[in-house]
Amino acid sequence: MAGKTFFIDTTVCTACRGCQSACKQWNQNPVAPTRQQGTYQNPPDLAAGTFKLVRFSEAGMAAGGPPRWYFFPDQCRHCLYPPCKMTADKKAKGAARIDSRTRAIVFDPTVKLTPTDFEAIRQSCPYDIPRYDTRSGGMTKCTMCIDRLGEGLQPACVKTCPTGAMNFGERDELLKLAETRLQAVKINHPGAALINADEVRVIFLVTDDPAKYHRFAAGGNNPKSAVGR
Ligand code: SF4
Ligand code: SF4
**Beta-bridge partner residues of 106:** 97
Gap between the Cα atoms of 127 and 222, Å rounded: 8
What's this model's pTM, rounded to 2 decimal places? 0.93
Tell whether the model's pLDDT for residue 21 goes beyond 80: yes
Over residues 5-22, mean pLDDT: 98
Gap between the Cα atoms of 8 and 228, Å rounded: 28
Tell me the percentage of the chain whose pLDDT exceeds 70.
Answer: 94
Identify residue 155 by its one-letter amino acid code: P
Over residues 142-147, mean pLDDT: 98
The pLDDT of residue 194 is 98
Tell whether the model's pLDDT for residue 112 goes beyond 90: yes
Whether 77 is in the pocket of ligand 1, judged by its Cβ within 6 Å, is: yes
Gap between the Cα atoms of 37 and 201, Å rounded: 30
Whether 156 is in the pocket of ligand 2, judged by its Cβ within 6 Å, is: yes
56-89 exposure pattern, b = at least 16 Cβ within 10 A, e = fewer: bbeeeeeeeeeeeebbbbbbbbbbbebebbebbe
Tell whether the model's pLDDT for residue 48 goes beyond 60: yes
Smallest CA-to-CA distance from 160 within 15, 3, 23, 13 is with 23
Domains of the chain: 83-146 (3.30.70.20)
Tell whether the model's pLDDT for residue 225 goes beyond 60: no
Gap between the Cα atoms of 184 and 115, Å rounded: 46
CA 221 / ligand 2 centre spacing (Å): 24
Identify residue 154 by its one-letter amino acid code: Q
> Residue 29 has what DSSP assignment?
P
Tell whether the model's pLDDT for residue 136 goes beyond 50: yes
Q: Name 216's Cβ contacts closer than 8 Å, sequence gap at least 6.
A: 126, 127, 128, 222
The pLDDT of residue 157 is 98
What is the position in ligand 1's atom list of the atom closest to the CA of 78? 5
Tell whether the model's pLDDT for residue 229 goes beyond 90: no
CA 211 / ligand 1 centre spacing (Å): 18
Contact 79, 124 (CB under 8 A): no
Nearest CA to ligand 1 atom 4: 76
Residues in the chain: 229
The pLDDT of residue 221 is 67
Whether 131 is in the pocket of ligand 2, judged by its Cβ within 6 Å, is: no
Over residues 106-116, mean pLDDT: 96
Over residues 32-40, mean pLDDT: 85
Contact 170, 4 (CB under 8 A): yes
At residue 12, φ and ψ (nearest 5 deg) are -115, 5
Whether 104 is in the pocket of ligand 1, judged by its Cβ within 6 Å, is: no
Contact 161, 19 (CB under 8 A): yes
Give the chain's mean pLDDT: 93
Smallest CA-to-CA distance from 126 within 219, 226, 225 is with 219
Smallest CA-to-CA distance from 128 within 47, 204, 205, 209 is with 47
Nearest CA to ligand 1 atom 6: 79
Mind listing the pLDDT tens digit for each residue in 155-196? Answer: 999 999 999 999 999 999 999 999 999 999 999 999 999 999
The pLDDT of residue 228 is 31
Identify residue 135 by its one-letter amino acid code: R
Return the minimum-mean-pLDDT range out of 62-66, 120-124, 195-199. 62-66
Tell whether the model's pLDDT for residue 42 goes beyond 60: yes
CA 139 / ligand 2 centre spacing (Å): 15
5, 53, 78, 195: residue to mutate for ligand 1 pocket, most atoms within 8 A of CB: 78
Mind listing the pLDDT tens digit for each residue in 87-107? Answer: 999 999 999 999 999 999 999
Nearest CA to ligand 1 atom 2: 125
Whether 219 is in the pocket of ligand 1, judged by its Cβ within 6 Å, is: no
Position 39 confidence tier, pLDDT thresholds 50, 70, 90: confident
What is the position in ligand 2's atom list of the atom closest to the CA of 143? 3
